[in-house]
Amino acid sequence: MNNVERHQYIIKKVNEKGHISVIELCDALQVSSVTIRKDLQFLEDSRLVFRTHGGATRNNPYQTDRPVNEKEKIFEKEKVLIGKTAALLVSENDSIIIGSGTTTQFLAREINPLGNLTVVTSALNVTLELLKHQNVDVIQLGGQVRRTSSSVVGQYANSILDNFFCSKLFLGVDGIDLEYGISTTNAQEAMLNQKMINVAQKVIVLADSSKFGRKSFGKIEDFSKIDTVISDDMPSNYLKYLESLGIEVILCKNK
C-alpha cells in the first residue's frame, strides 16, 4: 500500500472499531511501527483521527473545560455509584480534603459522618452539600473563584493548605492517561491539586470511565503519588497498569 491507501485503511478501521492499536495496524499493513506512528501523526494533524497511548481513536481524548452544572448531568448514574463507594472510606472523626468537580460533589452528598468530620475543600458546591450536617466542620479555601468549576484557585488557597495535614484526599480529575498521568483543564487548579496531594496521607482519585484515555491542559501528577482509584469501569490495560504499580483499584459498576 502507498501512503494514501494506508491512511484510508486506518481511517476506516478507526471509524469501525472506535480505537485501534499501533500493533494491530503493523500486523495488518505489514509495515514498521515507525511508519504507523508517522501515519497517525499526519492523520491527527489533518484532524481525521486522534492519537492515544499506543494507537488511535475517533473520539477526541483531550478534555475541555465545561460548566459544573453541565458536567453534573454527564455520567450521573456512574458518579452516584462512585460517590457512594468513596463515602464508605470516610472514617469516624476523620479529617479529609475534597477537591473540586462534580464527582466529588456526589461524594459530598453521600457522606454520612460518624463522630466529628473535618473537611477542607476548594469547591463551593461541596461546601453547600456538607452544610446540612451539624457534625461536619467545613474549612472553605479562599481565593479566585472559577465560574466553570465553582471552586477557588490561586496562591492564597495554596498557602492555606500549609497549615493542614489530612488523612485522605478525594480528588476529581478530567483526564487519566497512561503516559501523561492525571490532569485537569485548568493550570491553577492543577497546582492546587498538587498542593493537596502533598498534605494528604492517602490520595484517592474519583473518575468515571469516560476519563480514561484522555488528557487535559493542566497536568496534576503521574501515578506515583496515587494510592486508590475509584471508578465505575476502566479499560483492561489501565487496570493492569495501575495494579502493577500497587495502586488499589475499586470498580463499583455492580454495586
| pLDDT tens, residue by residue, 68-123 | 555 555 688 999 999 999 999 999 999 999 999 899 999 999 999 989 999 999 99
Q: What percent of the chain has pLDDT over 90?
A: 72
Task: At 177, list the grid cell.
Answer: 492517561
CATH topology of domain 68-251: Rossmann fold (3.40.50)
Q: Are β-strands 95-98 and 117-121 bridged in parallel, bridged antiparallel, or unpaired?
A: parallel
Q: Report d(CA 68, CA 174) in Å as an integer.
A: 12
pLDDT of residue 186 exceeding 80:
yes
**pLDDT-derived band at 142, boundaries 50, 70, 90:** very high
pLDDT in tens, 149-166: 789 999 999 999 999 999
Determine contact, residues 79/89, Cβ cutoff 8 Å: no
Query: In the chain, which segments carry CATH 1.10.10.10?
Result: 3-57
DSSP state letter for 230: E
Residue with cell 487519566: 176
DSSP state, 236? H
pLDDT at 176: 94
The residues of the chain that CATH labels 3.40.50.1360 are 68-251
Could you tell me the maximum CA-CA distance found in the chain, to the nearest angstrom? 70
Mapping DSSP onto H, E and C, the string for 159-212 reads HHHHHCCEEEEEEECCEEECCCEEEECCHHHHHHHHHHHHCEEEEEEECCHHHE
Mean pLDDT of 41-64: 79
- Segment holding 81, helix H or strand E: helix 76-87
Does pLDDT of 64 surpass 70?
no
> What is the per-residue pLDDT for 255?
46
Query: How far, in Å, CA of 229 to CA of 98, rounded?
Result: 14
pLDDT at 67 over 80: no
Written out in words, the top-level CATH class of the domain with range 3-57 is mainly alpha
Q: What is the spatial distance between Cα 147 and Cα 30, in angstroms, rounded to a whole number?
A: 51
Grid cell in block for residue 181: 498521568
Mean pLDDT of the 54-76 span: 67
